[in-house]
Structure 1
Amino acid sequence: MTALFAFDPASLMTLALLVWIFSGIACGLLAGAARLSSLISGAGSMLACAAVMIAAVQMLNGSAPAILTLPALPYHASFSPVNALLLLAMSVTAFFSSLYACAWLANARPHQRARTGLSGNLLLAALTAAAISANAVELILMMEIAALCAYFLIVQADDVKSRRAGQNQFLSGRIGTLCLILAFALLHHASGSLDFEVLRHTTFTPGTKSLAFLLALAGFGLYAGIIPLHAWVPQSHSSAPAHIAALFSSALMKIGIIGIVKIGLDLLGAPPLWWGLLVLLLAMLTAFIGGLYALMEHDIRRLLAYHSLENVGIILLGIGGAMVGVALHQPLLASLALLAGLFHLFNHGLFKTALFLGAGEIEMQTGIKDMEKLGGIARVMPWTAVAMLIALMSMAALPPLNGFASEWLLYQSLFQLSASQVFIARLLGPLLAVGLALTGALALMCIAKVFGVTFSGAPRSQAAAEASPAPRAMTISSVLLALLCVISGVASPWIIPYFAAVAASVLNEPVLQAAGHGAAFSTTSAVSVPMIAILLLGMPLLPWIIAMVLRGSRLPDRSRGDAWACGYGHSAEMVVTATGFAQPLRVMFAPLYRLRQQMTPAPLVAALHRSGLGTFCRRLALIELAVLLVVAFA
């Protein structure tokens, strides 16, 4: 037991896993005591997240990569820089989600509190164990447990929408797991082992490598939500509690992304060129379609889920660029692209968690997720409005926030790709840069839609008019995440070297000098995010100072009143709606929107959601989770 109180990464990881498990069980047993059980679950999860953060920072700050057995647990863990980065990205966002959960669980029904507290903590424990897995058996087992916990978190509400969302996630997860089993079974047949260290040093035939890569890409892609393997994502994010939906985006889907990094750049050796090109094309499709579908949504959490798909595509642009760089023997391109992808993976978790938690605050105080029925929320929930505005600006990659810092590096990697000597790379580089710019434009439109329709104007329903500020723990969680978006953007020149070191460890290349003297740069250009922040603060400040000095008493202070409506009396019906805002794009891209309906015909949907199949899936999920937990503890 003394080892559990040590501060080395292995002991801290053991402590975190045990705290998650026992605090979740305690929440389930004490669900009748609202305050006590919610405090045990939320505070216990925050303690576990803090332990994981400390362990991850230690691993990033010089601890040598190692494979160890965790103290008191029969689990072989791999401590490497890329695993540490994944742990840090998951635990930071999970910490604030757990703070939010303290207030949410206290207001939930006892049965819902028990299920969410237990399944949520088990989800985090399984994802953390998957992040440090040292062999394929552990990875698949923990990902399967995490997916089953996610299923029970989705189907809490006894309604048709919730059951359908859970059934989609259950079927997608099982197909993903089957693909991963087939991929690693193929590798085991060729190498005789499922340990990642053995696979890493085994030479496979080109056919074996390519088939295993395609199977693993499908399996990890289902978890990550790559389009067209994304069917479970929007419904699941809308049906689960808001802090759980945040974990889906910031943790569960990130496991799939890091899995693609491992299989494409680490375990199978140098990838052929077509692997990277395939990932780049899927990435661009995911980013553009995700952003386009997001603009059509009125359910604020479905909208954010589609934007998670957009950002998954942006992250994969970096990963695909790195694979192309390795295949073309261009270490600068590979290092810069992978650095950009990993940095955006971390940044996306921050701003997307802030957005989901803010949306959860609005839903809890109004009972509404449909933006058409909101409006005027900024007057009654100002701190939530500010936090969501900052997170939305970060999502749209506006300077000086963290989304801009990582996407700037990604643009630089695409410019490097366009300078390649290979024709297909010279062709794709500019096209992908234009596509990334288009997704940025869609994200900017989303800022206007979400913030304008939800927070501005007049309330469109009685519930919106009578809304009140959310519990303090919820508001603090979203505000602190928004503050981290600002800090990680302004301080990006000092943060980037850590991500560059992680990228170098994956590629076995020297560390890329992508930051220095307060600026992030490549061989072609440089940008100082701190200087941008200073200029953006100074630009509105200077005119205000001039006006205050020169106006004297000639100009009275402005008075507040109704918005000007061309001489007519202002009414709530005049305010722009979410439908009207997106209507031009709906007309312009009508064939793409019809494609979704054509790809999911009504008879197929009806067959998949028969009540008998849903009941079978629910019972099978319960049996499978019980068996896998016994196997995991054994």
Structure 2
Amino acid sequence: MMTPLFTLTPASLLALALILWLLSGIACWLVAASARLSSLISGAGSMLASLAVITAALQILHSGPAQRITLPVLAYTAEFSVLNGLLLLAMSVPALFCSLYACAWLKRVDRRKRAHTGLWCNLLMAALTASAVSANATELILMMEMAALCAYFLIVQTDEVKSRRAGLNQFLCGRLGTLCLILAFALLHHASGSVNFEVLRHTEFTAGVKSVAFLLALTGFGLYAGIIPLHAWVPQSHSSAPAHAAALFSSALMKMGILGVIKVGLDLLGAPPLWWGLVVLLLAILTAFIGGLYALMEHDIRRLLAYHTLENIGIILLGVGGAMVGVALNLPMLASLALLAGLFHLFNHGLFKTALFLGAGEVEMQTGIKDMEKLGGIARLMPWTAVAMLIALMSMAALPPLNGFASEWLLYQSLFQLSNSHVLIARLLGPLLAVGLALTGALALMCIAKVFGVTFLGAPRSQAAANATPAPLPMTLSSVLLALLCVIFGIASPWVIPHFSAVATSLLNAPLMPFASHDTVVSGIAGVSAPMIALLLLGMPILPWLIASLLRGNRLPNRLRGDAWACGYGHSPDMVVTATGFAQPLRVMFAPLYRLRVCATPAALVASLHQGWLGAFCRRLAFIELAVLLVVAFA
């Protein structure tokens, strides 16, 4: 009896997904002349691949101890662990909705952009999926490098100065990150004789080797994750690439950097010393605060969202750094709670940030504008997009009962646990980090007011904004469904959190936390019920409305809408608050921090790096390198 080539095992599903991404990307490139056919092949193929990865990830999360398996057909050695399964899930759910968005987006662009975007996006996801389950350092570096090169080609598609500069920044940062990773794992190979992750876990390294390897790996993975001050490539890259590709940068590519920090800091090198965790915590709060602060100065909506991605990378790293400190101090409750918060926020960030990038892409597609100063009044013309973006913005600002609130609340609890440590520096850092996280949350709240108020409310500030129409159904549906998931994972957090807790405790080899089998959010620790918050928030506005509707009778007729009150003067669009005016107080208050960016990147250095010959040389080098990597991968 013949064995079927593909079954429903995780290995077969991942192999099927990789093949689907490769074949659909190549087919889209070949038939790009037909807009309908190429968009259908690329989008549908990527959606099927994402569904296969989601199914495989759910199986891996419930499969028990880690295991090494060779994928059928591809002969690729993969490591299946709960951490890898969680990352696959966090990457593939946003990828599913990005693929749905691409079905409509690809139809509306020219042949060249359609061919390149369909090919590079699918190849990007294939490389990231393979890197997420890599079983040794060679596979990991090879696939991450391939993903970074695909991102480069997505950025430089448009022949504009900004796109070329963004692509060059990303290319140089990516190559530097890869070099640091090669040096880190070469050092570990020299000490252990292997780059296999299972061998590295059971090798005793000297303190010096571990520390040097950790710093090199933190730099390399930090360049991929965009940890400040290693973030130079992030803002303009997200603005230059197509919107759904930018969403994949935030939800998948940068998350591989986070996975690398977790692997090196908590998995491969054994128990970390205290100073490792403190370094990660300091970089995390710097990244979160500076990212949120710089976001408020941006007028380009996608650059603003990119800076908020940096903010959320910092929030995730607060959980990772807290876990490292907990392991170093032998505090399993702190370590498990902090890592749980970081992993849950890693997943949640992929949902709300993808919804925001896709929503911004819909606005850009319908108006041709990314500058918020030229928008306004979009909510009346694109209501479903406005609602989806409002929900996602509220989740990004950690407002209850959405998913961003649930994960950040856990993070606050871990910082309070850190404050109760017996080590003085940890007791000092706990309150300071909690205050820093609160300030970051305040900046995110201001961002809601700026993005939604300036972009969607008020009067249109340009003819293009006034003539906007709703986006095509697949594009609108992609952002609306993601916003719905933000609500679901927030309200259902009492039932979701135990699954993330199992991942954290499995990685740390710690006992299950007390709330892992209860139906309340962190029972005995957080004391917050997300479903109750949701009911109260729904009841507060609905109950007065019901009372007023029942008791008013015929006394209060409905009022007619008119112009906004302007102190007796005729209202005009010029009176509406602008993005510049909204952020002006912060620009004055934090002027030294904003000047720091100019001081850190002197004009002479920037001019020398962005000479025409260097960009052209890097573009040719990227083609050669990608061709070599593809040959090596298939060989």
TM-score (norm 1): 0.99
Deviation readout 1:190-219 (Å, 9 max, x if unpaired): 000000000000000000000000000000
Q: Does 2:248 correspond to 1:265?
A: no
Tell me how far apart the structure 1 counterparts of residues 455 and 167 of structure 2 sit (CA, whole Å).
28
Deviation at 1:557, TM superposition (A): 1.0
Tell me if the contact between 1:518 and 1:530 (Cα under 8 Å) persists in the aligned partners.
no
**Superposition deviation, residue 3 in structure 1:** 4.5
- Alignment RMSD (CA, Å): 0.9
Equivalence for 1:200: 201
Question: Residue 309 of structure 1 aligns with which residue?
Answer: 310
Q: Post-superposition shift, 1:505?
A: 1.2
Equivalent position of 1:401 in the other structure: 402
- Quick check: 1:28–1:115 contact (8 Å CA) kept in 2? yes
Structure 2 counterpart of 1:145:
146
Q: Does structure 1 retain, via aligned residues, the 8 Å contact 2:334–2:414? A: yes
Question: What residue is the counterpart of 1:229 in the other structure?
Answer: 230
CA 1:79/1:516 → structure 2, altered by over 3 Å: closer, same or farther?
Answer: closer
Partner SS, residue 59 of structure 2: helix
Give secondary structure in 1 for the equivalent of 2:231: coil
| Bigger mean CA offset, 501-510 vs 342-351 | 501-510
How far apart are the structure 2 equivalents of 1:614 and 1:4? Answer: 45
Asked if structure 2 preserves the Cα contact closer than 8 Å seen for 1:67 and 1:78, the reply is yes
Contact kept, 8 Å, 2:366 with 2:469, in 1: the verdict is: yes
Counterparts of 1:407-486 in structure 2 under 5 Å?
407-486=408-487
Deviation at 1:556, TM superposition (A): 1.3
Counterparts of 2:514 and 2:155, CA distance in 1:
44
Alignment partner of 1:632 is 2:633: yes
1:595 match: 596
Equivalent position of 1:514 in the other structure: 515
Q: Which one-letter code corresponds to 2:554 in the other structure?
A: S
**Residue 518 of structure 1: CA displacement?**
3.6
Aligned residue for 2:578?
577
Corresponding residue for residue 551 of structure 2: 550
Aligned mates of 2:277, 2:4 — CA distance in 1: 43
User: Contact 1:224–1:312 at 8 Å: present in 2 too?
Assistant: yes
Cα distance in 2 between the residues matched to 1:513 and 1:118 = 47
- Determine whether 1:18 maps to 2:19: yes
Given that 2:57 and 2:88 are in contact with CA atoms closer than 8 Å, whether structure 1 keeps it comes out as yes
Closer, same or farther in 2 for the Cα pair 1:515/1:559, shift >3 Å?
farther
C-alpha separation between the residues in 2 aligned to 1:356 and 1:53? 21
- CA positional deviation for 1:246: 0.1
The alpha carbon displacement at 1:515 in A equals 5.1
Q: Distance in 2 between matches of 1:38 and 1:13?
A: 23
Is the partner of 2:514 in helix, strand or coil? coil
Q: Within 1, Cα distance between the matches of 2:534 and 2:456?
A: 25
Q: Does the 8 Å contact 1:494/1:515 carry over to 2? A: no
What is the alpha-carbon distance in structure 1 between the residues aligned to residue 280 and residue 10 of structure 2? 33
Structure 1 residue 524, shift from structure 2 partner: 4.1
Q: Tell me the distance in 1 between the aligned counterparts of 2:94 and 2:320.
A: 22
How far did 1:514 drift?
Answer: 3.1
Q: C-alpha separation between the residues in 2 aligned to 1:494 and 1:513?
A: 14
Shift of 1:511: 1.8
Q: Distance in 2 between matches of 1:489 and 1:523?
A: 19
Paired letter, 1:402: N
Distance 1:3 1:305 in 2: 44
* 1:73 Cα deviation after fit: 1.0
Distance 1:276 1:121 in 2: 36
Alignment deviations for residues 110-137 of structure 1 (CA, whole Å, 9 cap, x no partner): 1111111111100000000000000000
- Please name the residue that 1:505 is paired with: 506
**What secondary structure, in the 3-state scheme, does the structure 1 residue paired with 2:79 have?**
strand
SS of the counterpart of 2:68?
A: strand
Give the 4+ runs in structure 1 shifted more than 6 A.
Answer: none
Matches within 5 A, 1:152-551: 152-514=153-515, 517-521=518-522, 523-551=524-552
Please tell me the residue identity of whatever aligns with 2:384: W
Deviation of 1:553 (Å): 1.4
- Stretches of structure 2 that go unaligned for 5 or more consecutive residues are none
- Secondary structure of 1:399's counterpart equals coil
User: What letter matches 2:135 in structure 1?
Assistant: A
Equivalent residues of 1:458, 1:572 under 8 A apart: yes
- Cα distance, 1:516 vs structure 2: 5.5
1:4 is displaced (CA, Å) by 3.6
Any idea what SS the aligned residue of 1:138 has? helix
1:519: Cα distance to partner?
Answer: 1.9
1:3–1:11: 8 Å Cα contact kept in structure 2? no
Deviation at residue 335 of structure 1 after TM alignment: 0.1
In the TM superposition, what are the counterparts of 1:6-45 in structure 2 within 5 Å?
A: 6-45=7-46
1:41–1:102 Cα contact (<8 Å) kept: yes
Counterpart secondary structure, 1:68: strand
What secondary structure sits across from 2:574 in the alignment? helix
Q: 1:311-368, CA deviations, whole angstroms, 9 ceiling, x for partnerless residues?
A: 0000000000000000000000000000000000000000000000000000000000
Once residues 207 and 476 of structure 2 are traced to their aligned partners in structure 1, the CA distance between those partners, rounded to angstroms, is 53
Q: d(CA) in 1 for partners of 2:109 and 2:515?
A: 47
| CA drift at 1:280 | 0.1
Measure how far apart 1:612 and its partner are.
0.4
8 Å CA contact 1:287, 1:439 repeated in 2: yes
Once the two structures are TM-superposed, the CA of residue 61 in structure 1 deviates from its matched residue by: 2.0
Aligned partners of 2:353, 2:513: CA distance in 1, in Å? 28
TM-score, normalization by structure 2 = 0.99
Which residue is equivalent to 2:126? 125
Measure the CA separation in 1 of the matches of 2:12 and 2:189. 31
Q: For the Cα contact (< 8 Å) 1:412–1:522, is it kept in 2?
A: no
Displacement of 1:403 after TM fit? 0.1
Instruction: Give the Cα–Cα distance (whole angstroms) in 2 for the partners of residues 536 and 357 of structure 1.
Output: 27
Post-superposition CA distance 1:146-199 (Å, at most 9, x none): 000000000000010000000000000000000000000000000000000000
- Give the Cα–Cα distance (whole angstroms) in 2 for the partners of residues 603 and 569 of structure 1: 49
Contact persistence 2:501–2:516 (CA under 8 A): no
- Are positions 1:46 and 2:61 aligned together? no
Partner of 1:102: 103
Matches of 1:439 and 1:518 in 2, distance apart? 30
CA distance in 1, matches of 2:5, 2:121: 23
Following the alignment from structure 2 to structure 1, what is the Cα–Cα distance between the partners of residues 516 and 359? 33
Q: Partners in 1 of 2:516 and 2:53 — Cα distance?
A: 27
Q: Take 2:348 and 2:333, find their aligned partners in 1: how far apart are those partners?
A: 22
Taking the aligned partners of 2:333 and 2:520, their CA distance within structure 1 comes to 18
User: What SS does the aligned partner of 1:464 have?
Assistant: helix
| Distance (whole Å) between structure 2 residues aligned to residue 261 and residue 480 of structure 1 | 30
Distance 2:347 2:64 in 1: 20
Q: Which residue of 2 aligns with 1:568?
A: 569
Which position in structure 2 is the counterpart of 1:559?
A: 560
Q: Distance in 2 between matches of 1:613 and 1:114?
A: 26
Is the CA contact 2:54–2:89 (under 8 Å) kept in the aligned structure 1?
Answer: yes
Distance 1:169 1:596 in 2: 18
CA contact (8 A) 2:454 2:577 kept: yes
Whether the aligned pair in 2 keeps the contact of 1:168 and 1:231 (CA below 8 Å) is yes
**What's the % identity of the aligned pairs?**
79
